[in-house]
Amino acid sequence: MKFQVVGCSHHCTPIALRERLAFSPERVHDALDRWRLEFPGVEIVLLSTCNRVEVYCAAAEAAVVPDRRRVAEFLARFHGLDTSDLLDCLYRYVDQEAIHHLFTVASSLDSMVLGESQILSQVKQAYQAAAECESTGLLTHAAFQAAVRVARRVATETAIHRRRVSIPSVAVADFAKQIFERFDDKHTVVIGAGEMAEETLRYLQDEGVRRVTVVNRSFERAVELAQVWQGRPVQWEQLDEALATADLVISTTGAGEPIVTAEQFKRIERSRGDRPLFILDLAVPRDFDPAIGEREDVYLYSIDDLQAACERNRRQRDKELPGAMRIVQHETVRFMAQQHHRAAGGVIEQLRDGLQQPKEEELQRLLNKLPDLDDSSRDEIRRSFDRLVNKLLHRPLASLRDESRHGIPHVLLDAISRLFRLKD
């Protein structure tokens, strides 16, 4: 058996080259089909994300698995690149190192943002695409099923996924959810067209937010964004009215001074009653006068507040990393032991089967020469032959079982197979 990964990631490859190596979902199937033609009998899973492109491949016969150069040549041909441009950027891990790497990636311990949740679903999607193209097999199936199990164990037994470190995720999980128990009945007002506002709104919609109002100085832009977010656009002059009915506000304009002053907010809050208002002021300079945060039932957070929370979470998440890596290491050793045991089991079974035929032939030859033996004597002779075979096999089989716990070298299994002329 041989299992390997050849690839590149944000650790060692600039984004310009990763972009050229990336596979769109539409082209993954084409790449997998080409792989099967070029490397028949070699299983493959192709993982392509914004931060990595990795080719996981495996085969029962180690000799048929392509080396790093041949994988580089395959990638270069597919994308129309020069192989020499890729070689220095591609890493290669084999067998236990490759399994350890896969488990680390699936558990989001090798991600640009440690513990980010998207990578596990991307790993599962990559395996599903390969399975649909009939490019997987027993080895990749076992490895990727184990990777999903390891990732779930890391998520369950450590807090690494519960420490959010992006500003939008912290804004929703660590702040908004402390104020509101539910979001499906809340009115969200988005002011401006910043990317961070869009990402924050995406998190809120995942939590159930459905009623969204978009306010922008350019009404055409407000209409455009409202269509993307399934919201309602309003004119800039209607900002006060929108704030009067809002429960959550996300503001990311590029204004040089506050767009809502303390005096202005006093007029707005008269029509709000006692309803709490959660404001994420993600603009620099700030869009809301800081004095507004001193008003009763107003929860105003600036970009600095969120960044400080992100940094605290990042420090806490880093403390969880050693424990998560211990889980990955334990599961890697366990997986490899299972694979070695399976490989040894096949050889053990063949050794036993290989001695059965000559034993039966010699036994029958002896019994034919002793036709006057009674049944009891015949049974005793048969048991003696069985004991002899078992004694001959005991030490080599015990050694194989012991070695399988630590990993049997392929050369040893190959040597045994050739020595005893075992079938494949």
Annotated catalytic residues are: 50
299 three-state secondary structure: strand
Between CA 176 and CA 167 the distance in angstroms is 12
Task: Collect all residues with Cβ–Cβ distance below 8 Å to 104 and sequence separation of at least 6.
Answer: 110, 325, 328
Burial of 313 (0-12, 13-18, 19+ CB in 10 A): buried
Q: Are strands 91-94 and 2-9 parallel, antiparallel or unpaired?
A: antiparallel
3-state secondary structure of 29: helix
Pick from 293, 402, 283: nearest CA to 348? 402
Question: Rounded CA gap, 364 and 122, in Å?
Answer: 61
* 180 neighbors 278 (Cβ within 8 angstroms): yes
Question: Could you write out the DSSP letters of every residue in 51-67?
Answer: SEEEEEEEESSGGGS--
**Closest alpha carbon to 171 in 252, 68, 67, 84:** 252
Alpha carbon 66 to its chain centroid, in Å, reads 24
Report phi then psi at 119, rounded to 5.
-65, -35
Give the rounded distance of the alpha carbon of 276 from its chain centre.
Answer: 38
- What is the SS3 string spanning 342-356? HHHHHHHHHHHHHHH
User: Cis ω on the peptide bond leading into residue 285 (within 30° of 0)?
Assistant: yes
Sheet (strand 43-48) strand order: 43-48, 52-59, 2-9, 91-94
Distance CA 118, CA 421 (A): 49
